[in-house]
Structure 1
Amino acid sequence: MANAEQLIVRDLGMRDYEPVWQAMTAFTNDRGESTTDEFWLVQHPPVFTQGQAGKAEHVLAAGDIPVVQVDRGGQVTYHGPGQQVVYVLLNVRRKGFGVRELVSSMEKALVKTLSEFGIESYPREDAPGVYVKITNGIMSGEAKIAALGLRIRKGCSFHGLSLNVDMDLSPFQRINPCGYAGMAVTQMRDMMPAASSSPDIEAICKSLITNLAELTDYSEISYAGNTAGLPDTIKDQLSQEASRDEQSLEEHNSYE
């Protein structure tokens, strides 16, 4: 049986959303009690994903960006280059914590990472994710800098979090992010202290994984090269190009 403190981290680079979604679903469906937990680091080409609670009216003008109906909790969000996504493939039952505890740990890891780069942030009780206060000559108020969306199946989590690092934020104007009309969205590049250089994505990933692993109680972390060690069926799914066919989804418990 796998040690509950063991974790594999993979950097999948830039990949289409749908094959990665299919691969993490297959990983979760096929895993057993001896399967080691994994974090998948990935960036996606532009795509809107609509969660199980999503409403069509929250996609204002998708235009040339595809909309994919998915099985995570929550509503619509955007993924694109310059945004770091971490998929959290954990046996939460084996770890001995609940979904809300996992969500809280993910938010705390994001807050700690952002703090290490000079950005003060916080979670909200009423809206999962991580937020920052903005006060400048253009706008003042609150903006979302990181989003969360999970699904639990067989006591195991999949989907995860996305952190806006250095990206084109304009596609967020085509949706009501996470179902909130007019919600402002920001990124690390715009929130880092003025004297800082552009965000170093490698350093950010290292910090985020370290903090996330610590807060979810992993002490034995190994880094796998891309898809090394994954079953061939999952490797094949990750190598596919995205299909825009509609997906038929079963109903399962989920949380954002």
Structure 2
Amino acid sequence: MLSDDIEWRVSPSPIPYPEALAEMEARATAVRAGTARELVWLLEHPPLYTAGTSAVATDLIAPDRFPVYPAGRGGKYTYHGPGQRVGYLVLDLDKRGRDVRCFVHRLEAWLIGALAELGVEAWIADGRVGVWTAYRGQEAKIGAIGVRVRRWVTLHGFAVNVAPDLSHFGGIVPCGLPDYPVTSLAQLGKVADLKQFDDALQSGFESFLSGLTNA
């Protein structure tokens, strides 16, 4: 059961990135002030690229293909678009251990568990950010993680490829890793439905949250 202190929101249509960023940042400010509930926001964006704080200009191969936005999160360039489940987490770490490393590790485990529920074995690779799986005998990235913590409130979160147009990743070097492909649940022959992935996320959320609280 989801805590009454946390809003679980699913947006039915793509949200423009600047609009989502502004709303997320305002919510984080309100959470810190104690005037709003924490938030798990599941959404899609129109096709776009975001640049994290470690983005390298040469990793943007096609700068005119889609809009490019600075994100303020950690990491390099990533793609967002329809068919990809983006999750923005506005959670108060001040009451959950103040451990950013634990937060990221628990987030990784949460995504891996949701993918396992849908029949995909996934893992974390040493020296490479994100969530990985196997595709045609090679490691391929299926999920990206990029977070920011401001006054112990988290912003940004994750993006998991459910059924996006994978050719759209060709305009960047995804997360600065040119030697590895990206894949999706649909390409792996698993579900191509965002709701099924959302349900898998929700079923593992309390475990994710308790791992933070008990850290």
User: TM-score, normalising length from structure 1?
Assistant: 0.76
Aligned to 1:134: 135
| CA–CA separation in structure 2 for the residues paired with 1:35 and 1:91 | 11
| CA–CA separation in structure 2 for the residues paired with 1:213 and 1:7 | 11
Structure 1 segment 27-38 matched on structure 2, within 5 A: 27-31=27-31, 32-33=33-34, 35-38=36-39
Contact preservation (8 Å) 2:79, 2:169: yes
Identity %: 31
Residue identity matched to 1:22: A
| CA–CA separation in structure 1 for the residues paired with 2:180 and 2:60 | 13
SS in 1 for 2:129: coil
Structure 1 segment 3-152 matched on structure 2, within 5 A: 6-13=5-12, 14-31=14-31, 32-33=33-34, 35-135=36-136, 140-152=137-149
CA RMSD of aligned residues (A): 1.8
Aligned to 1:251: none
Which segments of 5 or more consecutive residues in structure 2 lack a partner in the other structure?
A: none
Please say if 1:199 is aligned against 2:192: yes
Aligned to 1:179: 176
1:124 CA drift (Å): 2.1
1:10 CA drift (Å): 0.8
Contact preservation (8 Å) 1:51, 1:71: yes
Contact preservation (8 Å) 2:73, 2:148: yes
1:5 CA drift (Å): 7.4
Contact preservation (8 Å) 2:83, 2:161: yes
| CA–CA separation in structure 1 for the residues paired with 2:34 and 2:95 | 8
Contact preservation (8 Å) 1:39, 1:88: yes
| CA–CA separation in structure 1 for the residues paired with 2:28 and 2:57 | 28
Contact preservation (8 Å) 1:50, 1:77: yes
Aligned to 2:209: 216
| CA–CA separation in structure 2 for the residues paired with 1:125 and 1:94 | 29
Which segments of 5 or more consecutive residues in structure 1 lack a partner in the other structure?
A: 219-256
Residue identity matched to 2:10: D
Change beyond 3 A, Cα 1:5–1:97: farther
| CA–CA separation in structure 1 for the residues paired with 2:98 and 2:209 | 9
User: TM-score, normalising length from structure 2?
Assistant: 0.90
Select the structure of larger CA radius of gyration: 1
- Structure having greater relative contact order (Cα 8 Å, sep ≥ 6): 1
1:17 CA drift (Å): 0.9
Aligned to 1:234: none
Contact preservation (8 Å) 1:41, 1:85: yes
Change beyond 3 A, Cα 1:124–1:118: same
Post-superposition CA distance 1:155-187 (Å, at most 9, x none): 100101011001101111111111112331000
Residue identity matched to 1:209: Q
| CA–CA separation in structure 1 for the residues paired with 2:105 and 2:22 | 26
- Counterpart selection for 2:165 from 168, 174, 199: 168
Contact preservation (8 Å) 1:82, 1:166: yes
Runs (4+) of structure 1 exceeding 4 A deviation are: none
SS in 2 for 1:25: helix
